[in-house]
Structure 1
Amino acid sequence: MTYDPDRHATLLADYCVAAQPGDRVLVSASTLALPLVEALHRTLLQRGARPVIRLSYPGQVEDVQRYASDAVLDTLHPGDVDDARAFDASIRILTPTPSAPGLDPQRAARYRAGQAPISPSRLHPRWNLTLYPTEEGARAAGMTLAEYEDFVAKAMFLDAPNPVARWGEVRAFQARLIDRLSRADEVRLTTAAGTDLRLSVKGRSWSNSDAKRNMPSGEVFTAPLETSANGTVTFDVPTLYEGVLVRGVTLTFRDGEVTDATASEGQDVLHAALQTDRGARFLGELGIGTNAGIQQPSMNILFDEKIGGTVHLAVGQAYPENGGTNTSALHWDMILDLRQGGRMQLDGEDFQVDGQFVESAVH
């Protein structure tokens, strides 16, 4: 399977944001994604939409974080807010790039906080975050570019005769999981490596993430009760955060709040992120990955949190539609692999063992 920007663009325009005649659609991307940007621009025009292309150069955000004055770093111009509100839908295309050396984690956290009011998830009901495969993405994943393009295509089901139908199958499977999860109160996560964490999801709704907002997707998620998390969790899948490798994160929770945080690598970034604001020390999300097309980490959270047989927890912002009330400029997903010695229980009953759902959970 060779990655096809035109096939990707069709899936984004028709399925992810359902572009309609007259829609003003924001497409934001690095110049590294030009093949997909061009294909998406043509596709949106063919649908009668009004695409607005916003290109950035690789490293542009890092330059803002490094050189901007305090006022520019921390606040938005009113015109930026008005502009962001004037779109009917938005598509943001990620392009993995080499990490920028010497960035101050505190300034990066301040920039995120300043940009929060124009987050697409806050402004537009139709938004999507996707990725264009680059050489750097392949390098980070330990693949050749051809292998990485194949990996990306399969994760999005672009290799299927009908990608939309495949995402429909994912939606139906996840609906069966949600039927059981919606009746749960306590969730307990344990691993052979020492994780033992309990939290409550009682009364919270679950979202069926079928790639409308993230392409690829394949997860169900909710917002845990804000003060319910107790115990310790060690995340065994490394991630890149703000371009910095963070590995071996262990968080200890007491009544919902992170009381201790360590990392074998990238601890300064971890601590800076948790100091973003008050809400950064509480959980905003519990997610369960189901994408069978993703079976190995690629050092990109958009893909890695969807790996079948994993769960992820996010510190920071919760999604209000799930009933969550935690607010933060931070939303950082960290991944726990359950495929070797892991267990997820709902009110004391096995729901997932060694990365496999028990039969009663899916029927």
Structure 2
Amino acid sequence: MDQVRIGIVGLGNMGTGHAQYLIEGQVEGAVLAAVSDMRPERLTLATKEWGDRIRTFLDPEEMFRSGAVDGVLLCTPHYDHPQQAIAAFAAGLHVLVEKPAGVYTKQVREMNEAAAAGGKVYGIMYNQRTNPLYGKLRELIASGELGEIRRTNWIITNWYRSQAYYNSGGWRATWAGEGGGVLINQDPHQLDLWQWTTGLMPKRIRAFCQFGKHRDIEVENDVTAYVEYENGATGVFVTSTHECPGTNRFEISGDRGKIVIEDDKMTFWRLRQLESEFNAVNETPFDQPEVWKFDVPVQAGGAQHLEITRDWTNAILKGTPLIAPGEEGIKGLTISNGMLLSTWTDDWVDLPIDEELFYAKLQEKIAQSKRKGE
């Protein structure tokens, strides 16, 4: 194979954006061959704008079976991702799925199992992994430059969404339509980066989610969560969609100091001596290790969605490793499911979570949902 014929499922904002850079030839070795959408008017518009060389399908599974595509990019509502991915794998296709991987880990685990059985290239659109800031952070932590991690703290409240935003679609901010709020819609990238950069998954979570705070919506839009890690480190994750102005600050404290990412730059307060080593020999009350503060140089780059699609295409054509393997989508989702389950049960939640209990609780919310989607 010297070219990947890509089919896009879902021509909303994201699907249309992906289609545009494919049509412009920005992904070497890839071509947009087909699109699928349940809305005939979207397909008519696609043909008008892009020509009839791109095949159109109302039914995505018909596209999967058509022989017109080698791989598919899924840009549909959250609940649809696993079912559509499983069908695509069954048809022998490569899959790239938009975030989030799904709404609940039970369905995503089934998707991962289908991917493993199919043996095709399976990626997820975690485009923030291409941001050089987070790549550099991951590198520094993995190399031991920060020492053993002791604390993580991410405040991500610059997701401001007005009531008008929520009113713009009947499916928005409903359990039936989206399956959650800020954790499933806005935060999947941060929840992924939280564990991807540090290499740590929590062992247990205690979270406090507030639903419809200052907004007329069903789902969570204000979250404060505390996590504990296997090595004894702790973490806090704070997020909301009603604060203005908001904050985006990721702070990681380790035995060698502290790294902060904020305002698109990275600052390292580096201890000259490991804190643990200093503490073992220090005999002077109130003394502390010498610390150096400096901005960490980070190369420009990071083509976001385009880079993930290029990376997936190269993995298909050349066998190169993925920046964002699809199997890893379950990690951030496990954390967000754990936060909701902790709130619903008013208790600690151990990871991996009780998937059946989460699913049952979610079904209760869906049954009570006032708006059933569109």
Shorter-chain TM range is 0.3 to 0.5
How high is the TM-score relative to the length of structure 1? 0.33
Higher radius of gyration, 1 or 2? 2
Q: In proportion to residue count, which structure has more strand?
A: 1
